Amino acid sequence: MKILITGASGYVGARIFEDLRGHHDVTGTFQRNKFFTDLRQLDITDRKTVLETISDANPDLIIHAAAIPSRGRCEKNPHKATATNASGTENVVEAANMNNAKIIYISSLGAIEPVTQYGKTKLIGEGHAKNARMGYNILRLSVTFGYSTNTHNDRPFNRIIRTLREGKPISYDNAWKFPPTYLRHVSATIQVLLEKKIENRTIAVAVPELKSMYEIASDILKPFGKAIEPNDGGKMGRRVENIPESSDLEFPMCSYKEMIQAITQEIKENGLA
């Protein structure tokens, strides 16, 4: 199958790109940071370029991972967040329809009754994804942890790696609890979707347990002898997320303990410690 992955240099997109390229004919795009030599540059807010690039690649499936994933950046620049996460997705779906391609849209649990600009724009993006005429699937991720080629982006897992290497940050929020996503399960879920030819579903990809950033960071760092401190999250408050309902389909799943064990092994195998 010919697959095009937008945002293949992002933290999530880079892992999907690496996991799938050994099984499919995969093309990836990037906007600024080129983590793989064979990626094509693409700004998804540029409609004309999106249409041309996707037409040239002529994929059977587009995995749309390009986005502004930072809640903080989306709140500070709502117009750019809308242009990228909402309008950019509309451009990708339009190109998919012109080339008879299916869509897998990488979304967020924050799109469920959204209260942030990030969640609101991802929900709009979901609406556009559902307009894919050849079929769509929406994967809703939570805060995501696990190894990716992109260890540079300011994502929660990469902050933990910086603590491991540099000793900073030394404290993590212990107020907000959420069901984490294990990064390897994202591409594994995509593989199941392709193998079983499942279409037009919205699927939560998350560990069915609630944990705080402090708990996760502490459990990842503990085997490497690094200790951190909890904090109250400041302005984040003490809200607690819900565990998403499990799917009736056979998608990859693991316990929190299994996720931590797998991530510990990834850190060792990739020389991150």
Domain boundaries, the chain: 2-269
HSE-up of 271 (CA within 13 Å, CB side)?
1
Residues 52 and 40: their CA atoms lie apart, in Å, by 12
The predicted structure's pLDDT at residue 229: 95
Amino acid (one-letter) located at 172:
Y
The predicted structure's pLDDT at residue 238: 47
**Angle, to 10 degrees, between the axis of helix 256-269 and the axis of helix 156-166?**
50
pLDDT tens digits, one per residue of 187-199: 999 999 999 999 9
The H or E element spanning position 103 is strand 102-108
The predicted structure's pLDDT at residue 41: 96
Write out residues in the chain with pLDDT < 50, as ranges: 237-238
Q: Of 220, 212, 261, which Cα lies nearest the Cα of 237?
A: 212
Supply the pTM of this predicted model: 0.94
Tell me which architecture the domain covering 2-269 has in CATH.
Answer: 3-Layer(aba) Sandwich (3.40)
Helix residue ranges per DSSP H, the chain: 11-20, 47-57, 71-76, 78-81, 88-98, 117-129, 156-166, 183-196, 213-221, 256-269
pLDDT tens digits, one per residue of 172-184: 999 999 999 999 9
Residue 234: strand, helix, or coil: helix
